[in-house]
Amino acid sequence: MVELRYDPRICRECQTIDCLTKCRHLDFDLDSARQERENILQGKPSRILQDCLTCYACEEYCPYGNHPFYLLVERQEQLGWWPAPKPITKQQILMMAPKGKIVKEQVQAPVINLCYFPMLKDTIRGRLFEGCSSIVGSDIFCNIMWLHFAKNSVIKERVPKVIDTIWRYYLEPNQVREMVCFHDECFGTYTHLAPAFGMEVPFKPIHLFEFLTRRLVSLKDHIRPLGLKAAYQRPCSNRLSPETQPWVDEIFQRIGVERVEREYDGENALCCGAILRAQQREEVADDLQKRNIQDMKAAGATICVFNCPFCLFTLGEMVAQQGLMPILMSELCHFALGEGKIMGR
């Protein structure tokens, strides 16, 4: 049965309420956090339902894996709260529905899942992705973004079908057992969200950064260290798989890039602002983006590295206007392998 698995007893015995006391956007002390946690558990209204910026971070903060953010979204939907205007939400849900036009495709391992981003196809090239197949389209769209729109119901309905489509139409007929997730959203969906809702995943999801690291190891003799200072824009969906963070440092170290120390990185990362704009929280988005980019500059970064295409679309031009070059992690690896050219070098 597809239902959120969480244990209210764990929350009631929890002494620290990290999910709320660590939240960077809502101001809770321990007592108010305990009260609001209880309201959420009992399905009562809580100010969190309307003030939450849907940054996913509390999923990372809970030391017991008890899914505070998924539960919050569940309650938002049950109590009829719409973080984004109703017409926008309804239109997006319709627009991004699976089209059902799947044909069995011949693929070979490694298979790279590009989710709903056909524009990423161009990055699957060169020695880095030699021998890879890629899959893309609405029928394999991971659908996790509905967390931002208080629509767990759409996730529960669509994600099992997406998992089935990937397995039955692409992987199983070609005897492929692993799938590389280009986007953190997909990796988070299949490794974190699916088990939280009791969905079975018959394939093994691999994070893009693990794949890139493996390739860089085998291509080590071709790497030309880049000697750049990078700010890393951690995407919200990476909160669901914080264990993948060390891969960022591993990749940077292998290609001669320094990850600058800055305030808004790691657990303290800031949302790119894309979803906040969809939710019409313009002032909050302006503030987060301004602080984030100032922090990158102050730390001495000359490039801003992204993994999430949405973050790149949202912040790319803004960081460029501030003199930082925006770039996807995979493109940066191509450059280190001498394939392509970084501006001004």
Residues at the contact surface with ligand SF4, assessed by CB under 6 A: 10-11, 14, 17-19, 23, 25-26, 37, 48, 52-58, 62, 64, 66, 68-69
CB of 264 to ligand SF4, least distance (A): 14
If the CB atoms of residues 53 and 312 are measured against ligand SF4, the closer one turns out to be: 53
**Nearest distance in Å: CB 14, ligand SF4:** 3
- The distance of closest approach from Cβ of residue 271 to ligand SF4 in the complex, given in angstroms and rounded to an integer, is 8
Closer to ligand SF4 by CB, 139 or 185: give it: 185
Closer of 62 and 308 to ligand SF4 (Cβ): 62
The three-state secondary structure class of 57 is: helix
Q: Which is nearer to ligand SF4, 212 or 288 (CB)?
A: 288
Are 132 and 113 in contact, with CB atoms under 8 Å apart? Answer: no
- What H or E segment, with its residue span, contains residue 95? helix 86-95
Separation between Cα atoms, residue 20 and residue 3, nearest integer Å = 23
Q: Do 181 and 205 form a contact (C-beta atoms < 8 A)?
A: yes
Closer Cβ to ligand SF4, 66 or 330, answer by number: 66
Return the C-alpha torsion angle 310, 315, 316, 317, nearest 10: 130
Closest by CA position to 160, among listed 36, 302, 2, 282: 2
CA dihedral defined by 337, 338, 339, 343, rounded to 10 degrees?
Answer: 120
CA 271 to chain centroid, in Å, comes to 10
Q: Of 123 and 237, which CB lies nearer to ligand SF4 in the complex structure? A: 237
Burial (0-12, 13-18, 19+ Cβ within 10 Å), 29: exposed
Closest approach, Cβ 70 to ligand SF4, in A, equals 10
Backbone angles phi, psi at 267, to 5 degrees: -60, -20
CA–CA separation, 23 vs 219, rounded Å?
41
- Helices 245-254/329-336 angle, 10° precision: 20
Dihedrals phi, psi of 105, to nearest 5 degrees: -115, 145
Q: From the CB of 44, what's the least distance to ligand SF4, in Å? A: 16
Coil/strand/helix, residue 107: coil
* Neighbouring-strand partners of residue 306: 233, 328
> By C-beta, is 150 or 228 nearer to ligand SF4?
150
Neighbouring C-beta atoms of residue 298, cutoff 10 Å: 12
Least CB distance to ligand SF4 at residue 41 (A)? 8
Task: Provide, rounded to whole angstroms, the least separation between the CB of residue 296 and ligand SF4.
Answer: 21
DSSP E strands: which ranges in 116-250?
Answer: 133-135, 178-181, 204-207, 228-233
For ligand SF4, which is the closer residue by CB, 64 or 137?
A: 64
Least distance to ligand SF4, CB of residue 211, Å: 28
Closest distance between ligand SF4 and the C-beta of residue 292, in Å? Answer: 15
Measured from the CB atom, is 64 or 160 closer to ligand SF4?
64
